Structure 1
């Protein structure tokens, strides 16, 4: 039996909010350590990633680990793949993660709701996703009455779905939301469970290569070109006690970004192993994400105007559940500024931010 979109969205929203307040995973997948439990001295820094399998957009951490940039800073990092950015926020707020990586929306909503989170850096500050559909859906307008895949309400792909719908005058009430794991979107498209998915670049390339008829109906960086995408964030309490660790972490990540631009072949190999896509797909994705769009910042990647525009866009689409925090409360750029200052600002290319 088909569940009306509004009823499903309401149920998902209630579940997500309740889970965030309780500090457990929205779909049972948040870190299970007791909230606030102290981390023993010398143990790895736990970094939460927002997909069950790491995407190209989050592969900077894998590069930083494999190339030894984190080890050179004296840091050991343990990556934990979770269901979505909502789950990552829960882990940071609950004390089960030291550092979170998530799109900006759940971080802003957590801060607006009184959660102890602060943005300190960016993984990809530009959008890296496309809206992909089967042949019978030619344009976003054709999504009316269709089943569309989302992770959970308020998470990145659901927000991007709203952006696509809004671009043609539709709302989420005009479609049916179907919960799908991030790594299962391609399969759900192919078997017909959903007729639209927000896909990372490598996912979009793979599904269109392997299944003729699948095609891109919208590029999100075209719909909302000034939208800030990915954030590294921590609790304010953790940052106050670990300022130098934050700088070291972000210095290693910045070195990884710079390495990726300068070393395509090795980057493709690392990212292919990390994302579980073949090197041909990742090579094509590399040419788009780094060669054409330059989505990984090589400097701070923190643009105040861009972040404020993103928050305004969230407000317009009713993505914000409360009044947003002021920028100065949401973002602490000092760690990434210190990291870039120690490396030297990189200039000479219009992509460098």
Structure 2
């Protein structure tokens, strides 16, 4: 195991960036949810304080267990109706959560913990979503690139989804673990869907790519995997989870508990690939052929304080946050 990295310079998102940089979320109603254009009943019942909640999600494989819980009626069984909207990206989802547009939101842990650390909002983690697994977060390069490992990235431009995100963190962790100064590599923001084309056109030397875009790029022949980042300090690192404001959690403890039970039931079932793979074309907007080859994150529902602290400690080491953060204080009671 490598030593803990020293604090290194980074360019984390500003408070204004956390709240506004991503723009507005693209609200796309999922099949059968009927969210837009319909009156919403926020009243409670004899089982929950709020019978209908809005959950913001992302078009990623981490969203699959939630989709499974909705389709199989696990939330309805708990007296809860979950209406799903899809945000354009994690920053947009977090912005909508903080503004009150969402009751719960799927988010990468890095912007969520950053917002908490900087006082942009008082947030809680109500459920885990996914952790890094082999082949789910890799550095890809053009097919004929000489890059084979982190040391070969010195002086090159590496694409990440945004500065101050988990992509940024994974690249820095991999570089540091290999003894490469992070300031010797230039990071450039680019959306995941645009990474394969950027690599094929040599507009980037490398990029931190996640699934399903790893599979898409490999099938197209536009890029190849140079090395995996889910190793060393980032092996099995929690990537994303479901957040809510502390006020929502405090005011709706039975609602939160119902959401947790329904999601946990589906998450356990989603660990069987045969259960979750048929959902991926809709969840991640990919073809069945790509879905069949896509590597999946490790699905989790219950946050682990020790694992969550690994994320916070890495963020502090690379100055994503200015002060140490006790990540266990963000885990909602009962999660």
TM-score range, shorter chain: 0.7 to 0.9
Which has the larger share of strand?
A: 2
1:328 Cα deviation from its structure 2 partner: 4.4
Q: How many Å apart are 1:55 and its aligned residue?
A: 1.3
| Among 264, 276, 279, the residue aligned to 1:270 | 279
- Answering whether residue 131 of structure 2 is matched by residue 132 of structure 1, we say no
Distance 1:30 1:213, change over 3 A: closer
Q: Which runs of 5+ in 1 are unaligned?
A: 1-8, 33-38, 337-353
Query: In the TM superposition, what is the alpha-carbon distance from 1:117 to its structure 2 partner?
Result: 0.4
Which residue of the partner structure matches residue 329 of structure 2? 329
> Which piece of structure 1 moves more, 249-258 or 74-83?
74-83
> Does residue 122 of the first structure (1) align with residue 128 of the second (2)?
yes
* Aligned partners of 1:126 and 1:230 also within 8 Å: no
Give the direction of change, closer, same or farther, for the CA distance of 1:289–1:30 in structure 2 (3 Å limit).
Answer: closer
Q: Does 1:29 align with 2:37?
A: no
**Backbone CA RMSD of aligned residues:** 2.7
TM superposition shift of 1:40? 6.1
Q: Equivalent residues in 2 for 1:1-353 (5 A)?
A: 13=12, 16-20=14-18, 23-24=19-20, 26-30=21-25, 41=42, 44-49=52-57, 51=58, 54-114=59-119, 115-127=121-133, 128-134=136-142, 135-136=144-145, 137-211=147-221, 214-222=224-232, 224-225=234-235, 227-262=237-272, 264-285=273-294, 288-289=295-296, 295-297=298-300, 301-320=302-321, 322-332=322-332, 334-336=333-335
Deviations 1:101-151 (A, max 9, x none): 112211211111122101121011345422222231222222222222222
Cα deviation, residue 60, structure 1: 1.7
Structure 1 pair 30–101 and aligned structure 2 pair: CA distance change class (3 A): same
Alpha carbons of structure 1 residues 133 and 98: separation in structure 2 relative to 1, 3 Å: same
When the two structures are aligned, how many residues end up with a matched partner? Answer: 302
- Partner-residue secondary structure (3-state), 2:56: strand
Deviations 1:254-285 (A, max 9, x none): 121122234x4442111122212222332233
How far apart are 1:234 and its partner, in Å? Answer: 0.7
Structure 1 residues 106 and 61, CA gap change in structure 2 (3 angstroms): same
More contact order relative to length (CA 8 Å, sep ≥ 6): 2
Instruction: Assess, with a 3 A threshold, how the Cα gap between structure 1 residues 319 and 267 changes in structure 2: closer, same or farther.
Output: same
In the alignment, the residues of structure 2 paired with residue 131 and residue 174 of structure 1 have an alpha-carbon distance, to the nearest angstrom, of: 16
**Aligned-partner Cα distance in 1 for 2:42–2:311:** 38
List structure 1 segments (4+ residues) > 6 angstroms apart after TM superposition.
none
The CA deviation string for residues 186-239 of structure 1, in whole angstroms up to 9 with x for no partner, is 222222222222222332122112206522422424552252222211101001
Q: Which runs of 5+ in 2 are unaligned?
A: 1-9, 28-39, 44-50
Does the Cα contact within 8 Å between 1:140 and 1:218 map onto a contact in 2?
A: no
* Whole-angstrom distance in 2 between the partners of 1:87 and 1:309: 25
